[in-house]
Amino acid sequence: LVDDAVRKMKLVAKEHTVRLAVNEPGIIYADPATMRQMMRIFLENAVKYTPAGGHIAVLSHRLPEKGCMELTFADDGIGIAQEDKDKIFERFYRADSARTKKAGSIGGTGLGLSIASWIAEQHEIEIAVESELDKGTKFILTIPLAEDDESDTSDKEG
């Protein structure tokens, strides 16, 4: 699913470098349609809030010892101010950095991340944000691995 989402975004975001790095694929239980929607929100934001020529990376790490995988959407775009980090998941909230400064103003309704966080909640996915103004943003998703996936690992290790 991640690979597919990144491929599609590569076709659209011609002015950006978009790359995917997977250390090991992980198995999760999820509704594919809503997971696609969630990934599209993070990818579209990364492209939208990163000036042309910027870089977007999707990094996937399987962490069986923690029973999860981490999926990170990273960009080197306009960034989010510290005081906005908690608010961007609220419906209709748009940070100053998006509304005012760079490239005139960047359009949007402020709904994407509230939908993404709702989808994440349904899947017991945690979302962390690391960001610095003018440096870039990372959305780090911690996704529970399917039980099958975890037991596969313990079999191998044991």
What number of chain residues touch ligand ATP (CB under 6 A)?
A: 23
Q: 63 vs 89, which CB is nearer to ligand ATP?
A: 89
> Using the rule CB under 6 A, which residue among 88, 120, 125, 143 binds ligand ATP?
88
Beta-bridged to residue 21, according to DSSP, are 59
CA distance 62 to 97: 33
Q: Does 98 bind ligand ATP (CB under 6 A)?
A: yes
Alpha-helical runs (H) found in the chain:
2-12, 32-48, 96-99, 112-122, 147-157
| 67 in contact with ligand ATP (CB under 6 A) | no
Residue among 56 and 145 whose Cβ is closer to ligand ATP? 56
**Taking the mean position of all CA atoms in its chain, how far away is CA 64?**
20
| Separation of CA 36 from chain center | 11
Which residues contact ligand ATP (rule: CB under 6 A)? Answer: 41, 45-46, 49, 75, 77-80, 88, 93-95, 97-98, 108-114, 137
